[in-house]
Amino acid sequence: MTETKVYKLHESKQVEDITTMLKIEGLKHNVFEYEEYTAIEVTGTPLEIIRASTIYQQVTTIKL
């Protein structure tokens, strides 16, 4: 089963950090513009989505 999870981000640095980490992890993703946000769409199995969520939390924590 394939799911899609979309993260909306404001800062281009966050987008770069997360896409780099997703590439290293080998997770499929797509970056696109959504309203005033840059968004990252992660597509994969539920386990891949959980891994991507962990990456997202790590990056947002670093930014605080």
Q: Please write down the HEC assignment for all residues of the chain.
A: CCEEEEEEECCHHHHHHHHHHHHHHCCCEEEEEECCEEEEEEEECHHHHHHHHHHHHHHHHHHC
Terminal Cα distance for the chain, rounded: 34
| pLDDT single digits (tens) 3-27 | 778 877 777 788 888 899 999 999 9
The structural domains of the chain, with segments of one domain joined by +, span 3-63
Q: How far apart are CA 60 and CA 9, in angstroms?
A: 10
Considering the segment(s) 3-63 as one domain, its CATH architecture is 2-Layer Sandwich (3.30)
Q: What is the pTM of this model?
A: 0.72
